[in-house]
Every structure is written in C-alpha cells, then in structure tokens.
Amino acid sequence: MKIANIVTNNKINVSEDFNVVKSMDEIIHGLPTLIISFTYVNKHYPDFDVMEMRIQDNLYWTCTPTEGRDKFREDVFHFVYMVYKNLFDKVSYVFVDPIQHNPRALVKILRKIYSLENKITYINDKMIYIYCDDFIFGIDLKLLDYIGMNSEKIKTKIISLSSVFLVHEDIFIEYKNTIEDFDNKYRFIPYLYSIKHGQNNITSVIHIS
C-alpha cells in the first residue's frame, strides 16, 4: 500500500511507502502528491504561488536539488512528515491503564483486545502495542505485574492471538527515521507495518525474532 506520490527524475531517499515515479501519468490518484520540479510546475500550473508549497488540494511542489538544494531538502522533509502525521491522526491511541481501571473493567478490555481480528503486535521493552482497525492499544507490562496480574500470561496470549508479532531489532531499524521524527512514539510501529503490508492481507501468524 502506498501513502503518497512523489514525482521526480532525481534519486530520492524516502520510505517504500511512497510511490516514487517520473511522470504524473504514473501517480496513484487520490493520494497526496509532491512534484519536484519548478520548471514543470511553472509550465503546467502557471497560476501557482511560488511562495506556497501547496498548488491545490493534495498537490504540492518543490525545487529539484539543482534549482534549490535547501528548499528541496526542507520541502521533502515537510511533505513526508505531513503525510505520516495525517495518517497517524486517523488512528486512536488507547493506553490500557491498570491503575485507573478496576479489575473487572480491565479484564473486559483485555477480552476485547483478545477478540480483535488481524491484530499486529509490537513489544518495546515492557510496553506492548496492539494495532487493529484504526486503534492502537498500549499495555504497560510492569504495571500489570504491579497490581498483581500475570503479565507474562497476558503477553503470551496476546501474541498467540496476533496475526503478526514484531519483536526483532530489525523492525525498529526499518522504521527508525519515521519514529524519530515523531518523538520516538514506538506505538506507531505496528501501524506502519500494516501500511506497508496491508492489514487486510495478513492472515497467518508471523514471528519475527
């Protein structure tokens, strides 16, 4: 699944989530699109505002490196950040707080998490993040132990019921640059994985270790 288009004849270092093409004829319609070429934009969109990155809804521009290296770098970063931020804003984060919830409510929440289909789970230190259906659930395993619950049993059950379990350091490295731009919010990693691989296409358990 691609999340945006970048139209350029130059080499560009962005995630595989982006559809990098050489022509507007190759873009995926409906996705945010960045055109990298002042010359092209000036020819095809003569009324554009040179001081604004936005040309029209979902369409943006910047210079090629030879037309303006600093503007190129700044605008590409801004475009990539904007695209991810808009995606992240569509996802709700729910922190399952064992301290705030009474035991009955906590068990009910956990059962709801267990019942979700096509869960993608990621563990970072003592936090476990579960993504499914535009929700990310975060569970602090240390707090579960603190209130006397068996965190290892709960973790094992969540993992066994997950379509994908992400744990290896390579997973963090793969999404490191994106996560760093968002204050190291590790909770987005299973969501980023779902974007790349397509949550609806995940049908079997994959243990990456």
pLDDT tens digits for range 126-167: 999 999 999 999 999 999 999 999 999 999 999 999 999 997
- The answer on 180 and 121 residing in a single domain is yes
- The answer on 138 and 41 residing in a single domain is no
- The answer on 96 and 84 residing in a single domain is no
The tokens describing 20, both together, are 């990098």
Domain final residue pick, 41, 70, 88: 88
Who contacts 48 (Cβ-Cβ below 8 Å, separation ≥6)?
Answer: 41, 42, 55, 61
- The answer on 74 and 139 residing in a single domain is no
HSE-up of residue 91 (Cα within 13 Å, Cβ side): 24
- The answer on 128 and 199 residing in a single domain is yes
- The answer on 99 and 48 residing in a single domain is no
**Long-range pairs, 151-154, Cβ under 8 A, ≥24:** 154/110
pTM of the complete model:
0.86
Domain final residue pick, 88, 113, 130: 88
- The answer on 161 and 178 residing in a single domain is yes
Nearest CA-CA partner of 154 in 209, 204, 110, 100: 110
Angstrom distance (rounded) from CA 91 to CA 108: 22
Domain final residue pick, 88, 105, 123: 88
From first to last of the 209 residues of the chain, give the pLDDT tens digit.
899 999 999 999 999 999 999 999 999 999 999 999 999 999 999 999 999 999 999 999 999 999 999 999 999 999 999 999 999 999 999 999 999 888 889 999 999 999 999 999 999 889 999 999 999 999 999 999 999 999 999 999 999 999 999 977 778 888 888 999 999 899 999 999 999 886 544 433 333 33
- The answer on 132 and 74 residing in a single domain is no
- The answer on 168 and 96 residing in a single domain is yes
- The answer on 204 and 146 residing in a single domain is yes
- The answer on 184 and 118 residing in a single domain is yes
Q: Are 154 and 110 in contact (CB under 8 A)?
A: yes
How many structural domains compose the chain? 2
For residue 37, give its domain range: 4-88
- The answer on 99 and 13 residing in a single domain is no
